[in-house]
Amino acid sequence: MPTLQELCSYLDDYLQLGMYRDISQNGLQVQGAEQVDHIALAVDARQETFRQAAEQGAQMLIVHHGIFWGRVELVTGHVYERMRLLIENKLALYAAHLPLDAHMEVGNNVQLAKALGLQELEPWAEYKKQVIGIRGVLPQETPINTLKERLQQELSSVDGTVQHFGKGKENVRTVGIVTGDAANELMSAAKDGVDVLITGEPSHVFVPFADELQTHLLCGGHYATETYGVKALGAHLEDTFGVKTTFLHVPTFA
């Protein structure tokens, strides 16, 4: 049975936390039990995921969206309740935001790209001068509606609903993926010859660019497109440490 310190040291290195400038305070956010044999994983740190993790007997919860985002939080109200649930249940909380988007083995982007059958994968799309997305090609030119249906089928198990914006080519091949909130990457997609940008949520500011740049934008939901990283990381930790892992499906509105 690994210790919490061993797991955190491994995760810090494996996910390369030190490479990323991120508003999220990545890494161990709340300390918990010293020994860990059951890890829960979820997209979001919230009271419901804390309750479910504790009910299932996990000693550690790994999330994509943590509870600390670059500012001091007063431990009152709902923040107090969050901390109480974690501390009383000796539940450690570990967060990995951009590092879990960009990782080329267990990251959200690469895992979704593989699920859609993309080939020739390479890092793509910068955020604050750090590459966090991925680009690849479909095995052959594919009607945009077929790709949309494939994405919808892929995301249906995690309550994703795909929205399509833009009037690009009828048949597409090059696809860029930046999960979560990245409709702003439409300009990069057009500049780099990417036929389709896949992200999570649309943006009132950037959606009109899809028409103007003749680039397709497929939005499958912020939550749904970011379930891939924690699931893949859980499987990796099972193989590496022999611990039990559980994915907690607690969807948000998008």
The mean pLDDT of 188-213, rounded to a whole number, is 96
Q: How high is the mean pLDDT of the chain? A: 96
Tell me what pLDDT residue 254 has. 54
Q: For residues 77-99, b (16+ Cβ closer than 10 Å) or e, as one string? A: eeeeebbebbeebebbbbbbbbb
Of 113, 166, 178, the closest CA to residue 139 belongs to 113
- pLDDT 10s digits, 86-113: 999 999 999 999 999 999 999 999 999 9
Mean pLDDT of 117-143: 96
Give the CA angle between residues 107, 177, 182 to the nearest 5°. 100
Structural domains of the chain, with CATH: 4-96 (3.40.1390.30), 101-225 (3.40.1390.30)
Q: What is the pLDDT of residue 114?
A: 98
Predicted local confidence at residue 127, as pLDDT: 87
How confident is the model over 5-48, as pLDDT tens digits? 999 999 999 999 999 999 999 999 999 999 999 999 999 999 99
Over residues 214-224, the mean pLDDT reads 97
Q: Residue 70: what pLDDT?
A: 86
* Residue 61 φ/ψ, nearest 5 degrees: -125, 125
User: Which band of pLDDT confidence, cut at 50, 70 and 90, is reported for residue 128?
Assistant: confident
The percent of residues in the chain predicted with pLDDT above 70, rounded, is 100
pLDDT at 117: 98
CA 59 – CA 70 distance, rounded (Å) = 25
Q: Is residue 80 scored above 70 in pLDDT? A: yes
Is the pLDDT confidence value at 194 over 90?
Answer: yes
- Read off the pTM: 0.96
